[in-house]
Amino acid sequence: MSDPATIDEVCAVAMAEAFRGDGEILCNPIGTTPIIGGRLARATFEPDMVMTDAVSVLAANILPVGDDEAPRLVEAWMPYRDVFDIVWSGRRHVVMGASQIDAHGNQNLAAIGDWRQPRAQLLGLRGAPGNLVNHATSYWVPNHSTRSFVPTVDVVSGPGYDRVAGLSRFIRDNHAIRRVVSNLGVFDFANDEQRMQLVSVHPGVTVDEVVDATGFELVVPDEVAESRQPTDEELRLIREVIDPHGLRKAEFR
């Protein structure tokens, strides 16, 4: 038996589950926990996904996170320009962070305050506007609080369900926020109103804690599951193959 899973490992598995059923697409997680999740999904239940080495190639082998020296089994050249072609082809599932996210899944990665002269300049719109209207997106929010789960985001980088409701059929057909994973639980938008709902709480977290840490009215089903535990094989892959140096711990300090 392995040592019991810690919260970072539960989150990595919850992130991996975002990719279940994706098949042969570009799995493009951004951030340590999402990358571990993506690589874990490909190493187990989604072997057909392709992934970049976070530089410029698609690597067919499972790379240790944060290791620039690890040998790559190169299967294609993937300079940045070609990533945009894949975005526009729709064959991609990205995981981005969100400094703020609201009940409809609107994401802010750009700025806090007035965008004309922000109180805090953040990363910017980055690729979020194009991602959301072309292919599946999930979010990773390691610091779940009323400051990150907010009634209204200051700037919309990635549009949520309310923002795309009036847009073209193409966009409505291609826009999908599969799941949001935070350090407290897992969320999706799979209800008639397409509002954020609680799917599961991580071990040791109560529903009330999640509700209290959320700055909008969360849809809470009568029965809320506990996020699933990693299997022994998943723990081995995370600890020995994908993140042998424990970089995943840094987001939980």
Partner 1 sequence: MTEDEVVAELESGMTIGIGGWGSRRKPMSLVRAIARSDLIDLTIVAYGGPDIGLLCATGKARKVVYGFVSLDSIPLEPHFRVARQTAAVDFAEFDEGAFYLGLLAAAHRVPFYPTRAGLGSDMLTMNPDLRTVASPYPDADGHHEELVAIPAFDIDVSLVHMNRADAGGNGQFLGPDLYFDDLFAKAAKRTFMSCEKVVPTGQLLDEGTFHTLKIPRLFVDGVVEAPRGAHFTECPPDYGRDEAFQREYAATAKDPEAWAAFRECYVDAPGHEAYLAAVDAREGSSS
Residues that bind partner 1 (CB under 8 A): 55-57, 79-81, 84, 87-88, 110-111, 115-130, 132-134, 155-159, 163-164, 167-171
- Inter-residue contact 246 to 20 (CB < 8 Å): no
Least distance from C-beta 15 to partner 1, angstroms?
Answer: 20
Least distance from C-beta 99 to partner 1, angstroms?
Answer: 11
The pairing of strands 100-101 and 57-59 is: unpaired
The pairing of strands 92-97 and 136-141 is: parallel
Least distance from C-beta 93 to partner 1, angstroms?
Answer: 16
Q: Which is nearer to partner 1, 4 or 124 (CB)?
A: 124
Least distance from C-beta 107 to partner 1, angstroms?
Answer: 9
Q: Which is nearer to partner 1, 169 or 253 (CB)?
A: 169
Instruction: Return the structure tokens found at 101.
Output: 């996210």
Q: Is residue 109 left, alpha or beta, with left meaning phi > 0 and alpha meaning psi from -120 to 50?
A: alpha
Indicate the DSSP class of residue 252: G
Q: Which is nearer to partner 1, 115 or 216 (CB)?
A: 115
Q: Which is nearer to partner 1, 60 or 125 (CB)?
A: 125
Half-sphere exposure in the Cβ direction for 211 (13 Å, CA): 9
Distance CA 167, CA 45 (A): 34
